[in-house]
């Protein structure tokens, strides 16, 4: 559906996207990276606002730059917080609907429907200038969805949304995904992404650092030690047993909170052995967690690698 | 679609907040004309009309054109709202053409108010000179906006260039020796308006762009302005269709 082949994009001397090759299909894909990683540039390339400096990008088999055929099937919720402030939310979404080729009656109906859908029914005819940040985010989302696109790109969509709004937004993503749409979401907040999808593209300084399922990315990391935290009332005893295992590289004792944190390269083997060891030695375990079990750690690993 | 784009842009350009100053200026011309007529007893109403028309109405036209034309694209880029326009399934040329036509109509409409205010205050009504001015002013609105749009597509500081052109070039060059007047829009508009040269003498006449007789036939002036509008428009549509318009700080 979206095919990037060695895409690079320079802004003068600054590189926005550097030699990215990847294909994005239906479902939710997250563009993950810090500010300046190239997420927004990649979105601009996909939405045909800019051209690649080198390489190629196609959406539904066509080059997207200034291509109305592609825009008919793409909805874009930009990161910017700029609007035609003198318009009401409904008027803005209606205008965007008209620009998507709908006639007056359809656009009116659809604009109202989408505003209701993003819970803006109470402020349909208020000027956008008077909207809160969260309301503005919702209006942006409504205009991106108003023409029922096949591909939806959402650039930092959770900015400014309160917890309720975030939960609702996650719900929308789930709905779109279930409809077979392609959704691309960018974020620099890792726990947010984890809640949205397992399919990620990890960008850093314009480069695609890793891509695919979070679990697949984890496999890239096998040569890096994984950290495991075990809570137990007998941390010294457990530490002495575990350090004897050949694939346990290091054990840190945290007696104050009654826990140990160890590092291992063989995660699967460790988890196979741990229950038996605990049962044999009769050491109670209160909890096992992995500090690496989030995208932030993976991101850190990959950048440092 | 083109109709919607045009009306949408026109509504934007004619928002009260945006045009109130211009309409006030145009109407104020009525008072200016009255004061001028009272203070200048040796000037005929026709001369007063022509002087104020050249001195104020056609300068106002150029100024409005500069401001409205540079807003067609630059303002959208600066306000970052360009993203909403460029990600819609509309050919870019259609988008630009509609917006330019809307800008030209808005400028022309406000300038027509100024012409009528001037006519009412100096002539006390309509005359063939007013009809010719209306024709010239509407033509001028299209010519100026097309040219200034081109400047805004090519240059970052388009407004400065447009204002220098509108007030410096357009005022000074028609009075110069030689055929440099051919490179102004105002000279051609004066020919279309059949404005007599030198009726108002001295500096005022020079500022009004009527100090020198323009040796052009009306059809030649029409042809030249049609050429300017066509060439500028074709260039603008082609340029806008091929180039990227990303808000500046985002493009760095």
Which is more confidently placed, A287 or A150? Answer: A150
Say whether A255 sits in a helix, a strand or coil. coil
Whether A190 contacts A245, CB under 8 Å: no
Residue B164, both tokens: 């220098």
Asked if A207 and A233 touch (Cβ cutoff 8 Å), the reply is no
Residue A221: is its pLDDT beyond 80? no
Q: With an 8 Å Cβ cutoff, are B88 and A11 in contact?
A: no
Q: What residues of chain A lie within 8 A of the CB of B13, using their CB?
A: none
CA-CA distance, A277 to A242, in Å (whole number)?
9
Note whether B7 contacts A: Cβ–Cβ < 8 A.
no
Closest CA to A94 of A118, A113, A72: A113
What is the pLDDT, as a whole number, of residue A252? 92
- Residue B81 has its nearest CB partner, among A11, A76, A84, at A84
Burial (CB < 10 A; 0-12, 13-18, 19+), residue B194, is middle
Greater confidence, B173 or A253? A253
Q: How many A×B Cβ pairs under 8 Å?
A: 68
At residue A225, the 3 state secondary structure works out as: coil
Amino acid B65: pLDDT = 94
**Taken in order B35, B37, B41, B42, is the CA torsion positive or negative?**
positive
Contacts of B5 in chain A (CB under 8 A): 99
Task: Reduce the DSSP state of residue B46 to 3 states and report it.
Answer: helix
Q: Smallest CA–CA separation between B9 and chain A, in Å? A: 11
Read off the tokens for B127.
Answer: 């005359």
Mean pLDDT of chain A: 87
Chain A residues with beta carbon closer than 8 angstroms to that of B252: 11-12, 14
| Pick among A85, A99, A153 to test the B interface (most B CBs inside 10 A) | A99
pLDDT at residue B30, rounded to an integer: 81
- Does any CB of chain A come closer than 8 Å to the CB of residue B83? yes
Q: What is the mean pLDDT of residues A284-298?
A: 73
A80–B83 C-beta distance less than 8 A:
yes
Question: Cβ–Cβ of A68/B91 closer than 8 Å?
Answer: yes
The confidence score (pLDDT) of residue B252 equals: 41
Separation between Cα atoms, residue B96 and residue B163, nearest integer Å = 22
Nearest one of A249, A244, A286, A285 to A267, comparing CA atoms: A249
Q: Which residues in B lie closer than 8 A to residue A40 (C-beta atoms)? A: 250
Q: Which of A35, A65, A82, A128 is the best residue to mutate to test the B interface, defined by the most B CB atoms within 10 Å of its own CB? A: A82
How far is the alpha carbon of A240 from chain B, nearest alpha carbon, in Å? 55
Q: Does A148 touch chain B (CB under 8 A)?
A: no
Among residues A75, A22, A69, the alpha carbon closest in space to that of A47 is found at A75
What is the structure's pLDDT at B206? 65
**Whole-number pLDDT of residue B251:** 45
DSSP character at residue A132: -
> What distances in angstroms separate CA B166 from CA A82, B50, B61, B171, B184, one per listed residue?
31, 19, 9, 7, 9
Tell me: pLDDT of A107 over 80: yes
**Could you give the C-alpha distances from B192 to B139, B169, B189, B202, in angstroms and in order?**
9, 19, 5, 22
The predicted complex's ipTM stands at 0.84
The answer, for B246 touching chain A at a CB cutoff of 8 Å, is yes
Chain B positions touching A14 (Cβ under 8 A) are 252
Which chain A residues are Cβ-neighbours of B85 within 8 angstroms?
A: 99
d(CA A85, CA A71) in angstroms, rounded, equals: 24
| Cβ <8 Å between A143 and B15 | no
A101 touches chain B (CB under 8 A): yes
Of A12, A14, A101, which is closest to B89 when you measure between CB atoms?
A101
State what percent of residues in chain A have pLDDT above 90: 46
- What is the full per-residue pLDDT of chain B (252 aa) written as tens digits? 788 999 999 998 999 888 888 888 888 888 888 888 888 777 788 888 888 888 888 888 999 999 999 989 988 888 889 999 999 999 999 999 999 999 999 999 999 999 998 898 888 888 898 999 999 999 999 999 999 999 999 988 888 999 999 888 888 777 777 777 788 898 888 888 887 665 555 666 666 666 667 778 889 999 999 999 999 999 999 999 999 987 655 544
Contacts of A276 (CB under 8 A, 6+ apart): none
A66-100 pLDDT, tens digit each: 999 999 999 999 988 889 999 999 999 999 999 99
Q: What's the confidence (pLDDT) of residue A298?
A: 66
Q: B89 and A51: CB-CB below 8 Å?
A: no
The residue in chain A having the minimum alpha-carbon distance to the alpha carbon of residue B241 is A66
pLDDT, mean of residues A241-248 = 89
* Whole-angstrom distance, CA of residue B130 vs CA of residue B117: 11
**Which residue from A68, A82, A100 is facing B80, i.e. has the nearest CB?**
A82
Q: Chain A: nearest CA to B8, how far in angstroms?
A: 8
Do A44 and B246 make contact, defined as CB atoms within 8 angstroms? yes
pLDDT score for A215: 67
Cβ(A243)–Cβ(A265) below 8 Å: no
Burial of A267 from C-beta contacts in 10 A (0-12 / 13-18 / 19+) = middle
Beta strands in chain A (DSSP E): 2-11, 14-24, 27-32, 54-59, 74-77, 151-155, 182-187, 199-204, 207-213, 226-231, 248-254, 259-264, 287-289
Nearest to A83 among B81, B86, B246 (CB): B81
Contact criterion met (CB below 8 Å) for A52 and A16: no
Minimal C-alpha gap between B134 and chain A (Å): 32
Chain A residues in contact with B86 (beta carbon < 8 A): 48-49, 66
Distance CA B104, CA B144 (A): 8
Confirm if B57 and B118 have CB atoms less than 8 A apart.
yes
Confidence band for A54, pLDDT divided at 50, 70 and 90: very high
Interchain pair A82, B5: CB under 8 A: no
**What's the mean pLDDT in A123-141?**
91
A150-165 in b/e burial notation, b at 16+ Cβ within 10 A?
bbbbbbbbbbbbeeeb
Q: What is the pLDDT of residue B169?
A: 85
| pLDDT given at position A200 | 87
């Amino acid at each position: 559906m979206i095919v990037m082949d060695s895409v690079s994009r320079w802004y003068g001397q600054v590189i926005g996207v550097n030699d990215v090759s990847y294909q994005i299909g239906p479902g939710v894909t997250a563009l993950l990276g810090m500010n300046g990683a190239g997420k927004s540039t990649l979105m601009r390339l996909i939405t045909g606002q800019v051209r690649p400096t080198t390489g190629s990008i196609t959406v539904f088999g066509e080059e997207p730059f200034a291509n109305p055929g592609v825009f008919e099937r793409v909805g874009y919720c930009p990161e910017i917080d700029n609007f035609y402030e003198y318009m009401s939310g409904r008027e803005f979404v209606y205008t965007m609907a008209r620009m998507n080729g709908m006639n007056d009656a359809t656009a009116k109906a659809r604009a109202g429907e989408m505003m209701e859908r993003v819970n803006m029914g109470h402020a349909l005819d208020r000027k956008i200038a008077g909207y809160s940040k969260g309301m503005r985010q919702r209006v942006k989302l409504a205009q991106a969805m108003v023409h029922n696109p096949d591909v939806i790109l959402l650039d930092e969509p959770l900015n400014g949304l309160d917890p309720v709004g975030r939960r609702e937004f996650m719900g929308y993503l789930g709905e779109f995904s279930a409809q077979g749409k392609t959704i691309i979401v960018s974020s620099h907040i890792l726990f947010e992404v984890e809640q949205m999808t397992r399919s990620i593209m990890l960008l850093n300084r314009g480069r695609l650092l890793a891509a695919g399922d979070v679990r697949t990315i984890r496999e890239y990391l096998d040569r890096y030690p994984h950290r495991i935290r075990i809570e137990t009332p007998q941390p010294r005893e457990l530490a002495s047993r575990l350090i004897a295992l050949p694939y346990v590289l290091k054990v840190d004792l945290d007696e104050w909170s009654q826990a140990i944190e160890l590092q291992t390269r063989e995660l699967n083997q460790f988890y196979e052995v741990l229950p038996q060891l605990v049962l044999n030695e009769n050491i109670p375990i209160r909890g096992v967690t992995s500090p690496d079990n989030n995208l932030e750690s993976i991101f850190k690993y990959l950048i440092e690698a | 679609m083109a109709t919607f784009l045009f009306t949408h842009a026109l509504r934007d350009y004619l928002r009260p907040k945006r045009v109130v100053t211009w309409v006030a200026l145009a109407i104020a011309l009525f008072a200016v004309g009255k004061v001028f007529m009272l203070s200048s007893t040796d000037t005929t109403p026709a001369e007063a009309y022509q002087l104020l028309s050249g001195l104020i109405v056609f300068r106002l036209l150029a100024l409005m054109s500069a401001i409205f034309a540079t807003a067609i694209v630059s303002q959208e880029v600066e306000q970052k709202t360009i993203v909403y326009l460029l990600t819609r399934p509309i050919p870019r040329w259609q988008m630009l053409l509609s917006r330019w036509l809307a800008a030209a109509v808005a400028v022309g409409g406000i300038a027509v108010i100024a012409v009528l205010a001037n006519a009412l205050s100096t002539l006390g009504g309509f005359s063939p000179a007013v009809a010719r001015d209306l024709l010239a002013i509407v033509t001028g609105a299209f010519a100026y906006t097309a040219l200034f749009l081109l400047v805004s597509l090519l240059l970052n500081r388009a407004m400065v260039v447009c204002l220098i052109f509108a007030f410096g070039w357009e005022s000074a060059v028609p009075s110069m020796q030689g055929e440099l007047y051919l490179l102004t829009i105002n000279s051609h508009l004066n020919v279309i308006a059949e404005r007599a040269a030198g009726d108002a003498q001295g500096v005022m006449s020079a500022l009004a762009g009527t100090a020198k007789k323009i040796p052009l036939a009306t059809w030649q002036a029409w042809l030249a302005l049609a050429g300017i509008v066509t060439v500028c428009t074709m260039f603008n549509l082609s340029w806008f269709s091929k180039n990227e318009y990303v808000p500046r700080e985002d493009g760095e």
